[in-house]
Amino acid sequence: MNRLLQSVIMLMAFCSISAFAQFDYTPDTTMILREKFNKPFPTVWKTIKRLITEENCAIESEKQNFDEKTETYKGNLRSETCLLVSGEDSTREVMMKYGKVPMIRGGVWVSGRIQYNFSIKDMPDKTVQVVLTVELSGREDYITHQVHFWSSNGMLDVRMMDKLKKALGGS
């Protein structure tokens, strides 16, 4: 009877360990990058789609509207979550380069991902404004068994915006 009671207590403790996981993390604010380009909206749109696919990412959603009254475009391109790193040995160290990974005591990170979100809009001065935000995420597979999200430190955001500037010939 005593062994049965010990087994039940151990099982209950094991099953509820994720409820006692400590999260020492306060999310930072999301970095927002803005650039204006002297190119037509369709050129900027196609270039962003190409850059996303060059990052080995697929397009999750694309929405584009044309306002006939003002003859302007606006739209949003969002990539799928793209794998940056996987494996228990290196994921946390790699993802720490790009943002503040949530602290989960005893956690084991098995994958790190990125998602790009571009908002594109024709401006009254005949330029096209591009706003880029990036979200990082990773799967912790020992304590919480969940995907967690956090803000980028800007390194990957700036790199993507620099690629766009180069592809479009400057801002």
Query: Any idea what the CATH number is for the domain that residue 51 is in?
Result: 3.30.530.50
The confidence band for 1, taking pLDDT boundaries of 50, 70 and 90, is low
Q: Which domain holds residue 131?
A: 21-168
Domain assignment present for residue 130? The answer is yes
In the predicted model, is pLDDT for residue 165 greater than 80? yes
Are 66 and 118 a contacting pair, CB within 8 Å?
no
The pLDDT of residue 158 is 94
How far apart (Å, rounded) are the C-alpha atoms in residues 21 and 142?
10
- Average of pLDDT values for 64-86? 92
The pLDDT of residue 22 is 37
The pLDDT of residue 50 is 96
Domain assignment present for residue 114? The answer is yes
Domain assignment present for residue 10? The answer is no
Domain assignment present for residue 6? The answer is no
* 10-19, 25-34, 38-47, 122-131: the lowest-pLDDT one: 10-19
Domain assignment present for residue 3? The answer is no
In the predicted model, is pLDDT for residue 12 greater than 90? no
Domain assignment present for residue 162? The answer is yes
- Total domain count, the chain: 1
- Average of pLDDT values for 40-48? 95
Domain assignment present for residue 16? The answer is no
The confidence band for 6, taking pLDDT boundaries of 50, 70 and 90, is low
- Average of pLDDT values for 54-73? 91
pTM for the predicted model, two decimal places:
0.78
The pLDDT of residue 7 is 53
Domain assignment present for residue 95? The answer is yes
